[in-house]
Amino acid sequence: MRLIHQQRTSLICFLLCCLVFAINFITMPKRNYPGDPMATRSATTTLLRTGELNVPLQVVLHLSQEQGQYYYQNMTNKKLYSKYGILNTILYIPPILIEKWYRGELDYDAESRIRTFLLNMFNIILSIGITIYLFLLLSFYTKSPLIKIIYILTVLYSTFLWNYLRAPTFEIFHVLFFLMFYYHLIQYKHQSQTNHASWHLLASVLSLVLLCLCKLIFVLLIPLLCVALLLIGYQSTENIFQHAAQQLRRHGKSYLLCLILPLAGMLAIILWTNQYKFGSPFETGYGQWEANESLFGGDLRIGITGFLFSGQRSIFTHFPVLIMALFGLKAFYTKHSFDFTFAVSTFILFLFTYAKFIHWAGEASYGPRYLLFILPVLSLPFIEVLHHLRSTIQKVRTRLAMILMAGIIVYSMLLQINVNSLVFHTYYRLEYVMNRASYARFEDLKKYMHILHFGQIYQDLIAYDTNGKSLYLLEKYRNRFDEKNFAKMEKDLQNMIKYNYWLFE
pLDDT in tens, 478-502: 777 777 778 888 888 888 899 999 9
pLDDT tens digits, 360-390? 998 889 999 999 999 999 999 999 999 999 9
Of 100-114, 309-323, 393-407, which gets the smallest average pLDDT? 100-114
Please check whether residue 129 is in contact with residue 383, taking contact to mean a CB–CB distance below 8 angstroms.
no
- Cβ(184)–Cβ(209) under 8 Å? no
User: What pLDDT score does 293 carry?
Assistant: 60
pTM score, two decimals? 0.96
Instruction: Report which of 374, 362, 340 is spatially closest to residue 159, judged by C-alpha positions.
Output: 374
Please check the confidence at residue 262 and state whether its pLDDT lies above 70.
yes
Q: Where are the alpha helices (DSSP H) in 232-374?
A: 240-255, 261-278, 300-309, 315-318, 321-325, 329-335, 337-355
Rounded to the nearest 10 degrees, the angle between the axes of helix 171-190 and helix 113-138 is 20
Q: What is the dihedral of CA 470, 476, 478, 480, to 10 degrees?
A: 180
- Provide, rounded to the nearest whole percent, the portion of the chain with pLDDT above 90: 70
Residue 83 sits at the vertex; the CA angle it makes with 77 and 97, to the nearest 5 degrees, is: 95
Q: How much is the average pLDDT of 414-434?
A: 93
Q: pLDDT band for 439, please (50, 70, 90 cuts).
A: low
Taking the C-alpha atoms of residue 169 and residue 119, their distance in angstroms, rounded to an integer, is: 10
pLDDT at residue 448 in the model: 87
Residue 436 has pLDDT above 80, yes or no: no
pLDDT band of residue 292 (cuts 50, 70, 90) is low
pLDDT-based confidence at residue 427 (cuts at 50, 70, 90):
very high
For position 157, what pLDDT does the model report? Answer: 98
Which of left, alpha, beta for 43 (phi over 0: left; psi -120 to 50: alpha)?
alpha
286 or 461: which leads in pLDDT: 461
The pLDDT confidence band at residue 195, using thresholds 50, 70 and 90, is confident
Residue 4 has what pLDDT?
Answer: 76
Q: Which residue has the higher pLDDT, 465 or 193?
A: 465
Residue 294 scores a pLDDT above 80: no
